[in-house]
């Protein structure tokens, strides 16, 4: 069933915000999404009615909080079709999830000369942790290139994967919108005895995710891009891998026993969760997942694909001097649309758009190797989500026409 | 266009943006090349400086790089303003420009009372540069306007070091 966007919009208080006397047109959900009332209420209620630390007290509210916290973990696990909630580690965000893998799995398993394969369309979150390991351990980084139509260039994949230990790759580019088909990549990696880490930060919010159908080994994602609060995210990994990995941070919660001469670690997933976690954020994330699950991810995708097609068509029709950095076929991409007018800087475009209360991102989008590859310092990026409408896209087009007019040399 | 926006994009700014002055490279050495980055937006600038050590003046300056209209215009105006100036004069202009951008060099953000800014501005002729004052109303754009100036400052330091 098609999403009832008018009804959805009523659930998002921040979308009623007026900017310069006009209703906000929020087209930056790829950076972070807005939050529905149900998430705000779940978090508010947690603080007001039943708040305590988790996994510690035996009194009623401590047990309630712990149950709500762990219920959210189960929701996350179900949402991505994990085998068990114990495979979902709560972290701060996708960035921390990838750093956890680099720090724990990477330092335990990678030595000088070992190869990690990335792609040119990675976010810095899936580059810099590997650079750090390269500096520390002398591992080698190899890069999957990009074709002229902004897809992965897989012609030399076998060569790149030969001798590799890990393929770390995003499921959807936050700049190009390109969706990378994970299963064939996982198969290719496994054929070479490499593991695959999927940066699913832009994928999980928008498409039904099945980590087992992917046959992935590690998957990283953030709550704040999928209607949940900032401050919490997930690392999913196969239980056997997590079992074999040394802990990341040390402290309370992650231990089974501590003696003067050492410690033993807790069971999964708590082994990787040192210290008091983001308790209320986890509860809010659970409510966000309920909201998305209730809409149905197939319908979410349907709406976004249709709106993306509408936006691409409108941009191409209205602006012959605009370059769109990403596939033009909406069926193989998500709703993050990067573009640039010949000779006009993305910052200047954004500034004029702000006049019309249109919020788009301008910059390198934390993907500088990609920006270097496509040869621009920055792009504008409009990104679409469940609450965006065709009429908002029309407003974007109007505002862009005005901006182009103003800066045309 | 709102008046704020017109204030930001004054005609003289758009003029420098459309026809930037002193674009190009200088041979290194004798010139020095200093690069600046704005990590926020990815903008890059390279400032080539040729200092005449006998008279301690900026004999020539050239600019490379890409950026938004504010950073391009600010860079262009900067190059025009410091060319032929003494190194001390250029440094004074840097301080004055930062004061114009409400940057309190010697105080924590939000602590300045304005008197330090007034002192840095006193007696300095900013001319066209004053057109950039509108940027102050758009705090995220201040970094665009100051990129070239910070790079110049670094370049003067490096040129000074290498001539010793
Ligand atoms: C593809 C991708 N990976 C990783 C991240 C990092 O996410 P976070 O900042 O939530 O850690 C982002 C966020 O922009 C992203 O788009």
Per residue in A107-159, pLDDT (tens digit) is 999 999 999 999 999 999 999 999 999 999 999 999 999 999 999 999 999 99
**A124 interface with B at CB cutoff 8 Å:** no
For residues B113-124, give the mean pLDDT: 69
* Residue A31, min C-alpha distance to chain B (Å): 14
* Kind of pairing between the strands at A361-363 and A336-341: unpaired
**Where do the structural domains in chain A lie, given as residue ranges?**
5-28+296-408, 50-293
Distance from CA of A229 to the nearest CA of B (A): 23
**Long-range contact list for B16-20, CB < 8 A, 24+ apart?**
B16/B72, B16/B73, B16/B76, B16/B77, B16/B128, B17/B69, B17/B72, B17/B73, B17/B76, B18/A409, B20/B63, B20/B72, B20/B73, B20/B75, B20/B76
- The class that CATH gives domain B3-162 is alpha beta
Tell me the percentage of chain A whose pLDDT exceeds 90. 91
Residue with tokens 């097609």: A309
Q: Which residues line ligand 1 (CB under 6 A)?
A: A 93-95, 123, 125, 170, 174, 199, 201-202, 222, 233, 366
- Taking the CA of residue B107 and the nearest CA in chain A, the distance in Å comes to 29
CATH of domain A5-28+296-408: 3.90.1150.10
Tell me if chain B has a CB within 8 Å of the CB of A406. yes
Evaluate if residue B163 carries a pLDDT over 70: no
Whether residue B144 lies within 8 A of chain A, CB to CB, comes out as yes
pLDDT per residue over A192-251, tens digit each? 999 999 999 999 999 999 999 999 999 999 999 999 999 999 999 999 999 999 999 999
A353-395 confidence digits (pLDDT tens): 998 999 999 988 999 999 999 998 889 999 999 999 999 999 9
According to the model, what pLDDT value does residue A327 have? 97
Q: What is the mean pLDDT of residues B55-76?
A: 90
pLDDT computed for residue B164 by the predictor: 43
Q: Distance between CA atoms of B34 and A202, rounded to whole angstroms?
A: 37
- Min mean pLDDT across A162-176, A384-398, B50-64 is at B50-64
Which range of A70-84, B48-62, B91-105 scores highest in mean pLDDT? It is A70-84
Q: Nearest C-alpha to atom 13 of ligand 1 is from which residue?
A: A31
pTM for this prediction: 0.90
Structure token pair of residue A36: 């529905």
Q: Select the CATH number that applies to the domain covering A50-293 from these four: 3.90.180.10, 3.10.180.10, 3.30.530.20, 3.40.640.10.
A: 3.40.640.10
Q: What is the pLDDT of residue B116?
A: 67
- Mind telling me the catalytic residues of A? 366
Peptide bond preceding A375 in cis form (omega within 30 of 0): no
Kindly tell me if the per-residue pLDDT of B112 is higher than 60.
no
Q: Quick one: pLDDT band at residue B162, thresholds 50, 70, 90?
A: low
The best mutation among A91, A125, A361 to test binding of ligand 1, ranked by most ligand atoms within 8 Å of the C-beta, falls on A125
Which residue on chain B is closest to A351 by alpha carbon?
A: B5
Please state which of the ranges A15-29, A323-337, B122-136 shows the lowest mean pLDDT. Answer: B122-136
Task: Say yes or no to pLDDT of B10 above 90.
Answer: no
**Does the beta carbon of A22 lie under 8 angstroms from any beta carbon of chain B?**
no
Q: How confident is the model at residue A181 (pLDDT cuts 50, 70, 90)?
A: very high
Question: Three-state secondary structure along chain A?
Answer: CCCCHHHHHHCCHHHHCEECCEECEECECCCCCCCCHHHHHHHHHHHHHCCCCCCCCCCHHHHHHHHHHHHHHHHHHHHCCCCCHHHEEEECCHHHHHHHHHHHHHHHHCCCCCEEEEECCCCHHHCHHHHHHHHHHCCEEEEEEECCCCCEECCCHHHHHCCEEEEEEECECCCCCEECCHHHHHHHHHHCCCEEEEECCCCCCCCCCCHHHHCCCEEEEECCCCCCCCCCEEEEECHHHHHHCCCCCCCCCCEEEEECCEEEECCCCHHHCCCCCCHHHHHHHHHHHHHHHHHCHHHHHHHHHHHHHHHHHHHHHHCCCEEEECCCCHHHECCEEEEEECCCCHHHHHHHHHHCCEECEEECCCCHHHHHHHCCCCEEEEECCCCCCHHHHHHHHHHHHHHHHHHCC
Ligand 1 atom 12: the closest Cα is on which residue? A201
B42 closest CB neighbour out of A352, A378, A409: A378
Each domain of chain B, given as residue ranges in start order, spans 3-162
Do the Cβ atoms of B141 and A347 come within 8 Å? Answer: yes
pLDDT in tens, A94-117: 999 999 999 999 999 999 999 999
The pLDDT score that the predictor gives to residue B7 is 77
> Using one digit for the tens of pLDDT, what is the confidence trace for A295-320?
999 999 999 999 999 999 999 999 99
Q: Give the per-residue pLDDT at B120.
A: 74
Q: Do the Cβ atoms of B68 and A409 come within 8 Å? A: no
- Rounded to the nearest integer, the mean pLDDT of chain A is 96
- Distance (Å) from CA A10 to ligand 1 centroid: 27
């Amino acid at each position: 069933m098609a999403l009832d966007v008018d009804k959805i919009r009523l659930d998002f208080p921040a979308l009623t915000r007026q900017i310069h006397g006009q209703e906000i047109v929020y087209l930056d959900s790829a950076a972070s999404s807005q939050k529905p009332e149900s998430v705000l209420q779940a978090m508010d209620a947690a603080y007001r009615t039943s708040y305590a630390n988790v996994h510690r007290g035996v009194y009623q509210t401590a047990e309630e909080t712990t149950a709500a916290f762990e219920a959210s973990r189960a929701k996350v696990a179900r949402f991505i079709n994990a085998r068990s909630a114990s495979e979902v580690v709560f972290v701060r965000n996708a960035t921390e999830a990838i750093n956890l893998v680099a720090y724990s799995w990477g330092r335990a398993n990678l030595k000088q000369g070992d190869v990690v394969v990335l792609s040119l369309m990675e976010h810095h979150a899936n580059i810099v942790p590997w650079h750090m390991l390269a500096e520390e351990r002398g591992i080698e980084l190899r890069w999957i290139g990009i074709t002229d139509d902004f897809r992965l260039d897989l012609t030399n994949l076998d060569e790149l994967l030969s001798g590799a230990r890990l393929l770390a790759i995003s499921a959807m580019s936050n700049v190009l919108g390109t969706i990378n088909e994970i299963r064939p990549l996982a198969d290719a990696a496994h054929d070479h005895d490499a593991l695959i880490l999927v940066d699913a930060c832009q994928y999980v919010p928008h498409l039904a995710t099945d980590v087992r159908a992917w046959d992935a080994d590690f998957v990283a994602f953030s709550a704040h891009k999928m209607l949940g609060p900032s401050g919490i995210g997930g690392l999913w990994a196969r239980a056997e891998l997590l079992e074999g990995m040394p802990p990341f941070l040390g402290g309370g919660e992650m231990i089974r026993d501590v003696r003067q001469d050492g410690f033993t670690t807790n069971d999964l997933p708590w082994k990787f969760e040192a210290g008091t976690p983001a308790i209320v954020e986890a509860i809010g994330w659970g409510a966000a997942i309920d909201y998305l699950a209730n809409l149905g991810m197939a319908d979410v995708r349907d709406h976004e694909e249709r709106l993306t097609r509408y936006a691409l068509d409108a941009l191409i029709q209205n602006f012959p001097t605009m370059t769109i950095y990403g596939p033009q076929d909406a069926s193989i991409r998500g709703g993050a649309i990067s573009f640039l007018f010949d000779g006009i800087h993305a910052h200047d475009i954004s500034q004029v758009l702000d006049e019309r209360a249109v919020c788009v991102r301008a910059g390198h989008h934390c993907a500088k190797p990609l920006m270097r590859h496509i040869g621009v310092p920055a792009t504008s990026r409009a990104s679409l989500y469940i609450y965006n409408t065709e009429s908002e896209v029309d407003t974007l087009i109007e505002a862009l026409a005005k901006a182009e007019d103003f800066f045309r040399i | 266009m709102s008046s704020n926006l017109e204030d930001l994009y004054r005609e003289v700014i758009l003029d420098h943006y459309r026809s930037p002055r002193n674009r190009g490279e200088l041979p290194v050495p004798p010139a020095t090349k200093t690069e600046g980055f704005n990590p926020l937006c990815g903008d890059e600038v390279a400032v080539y400086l040729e200092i005449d050590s006998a008279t301690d003046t900026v004999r020539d300056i050239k600019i490379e790089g890409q950026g938004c209209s504010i950073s391009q215009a600010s860079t262009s105006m900067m190059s025009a303003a410091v060319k032929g100036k003494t190194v001390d004069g250029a440094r004074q202009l840097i301080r004055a420009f930062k004061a114009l951008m409400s940057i309190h060099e010697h105080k924590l953000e939000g602590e300045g009372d304005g008197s330090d800014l007034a002192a840095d501005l006193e007696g300095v002729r900013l001319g066209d540069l004053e057109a950039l004052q509108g940027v102050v109303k758009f705090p995220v754009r201040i970094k665009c306007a100051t990129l070239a100036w910070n790079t110049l400052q670094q370049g003067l330091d490096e040129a000074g070091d290498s001539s010793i």
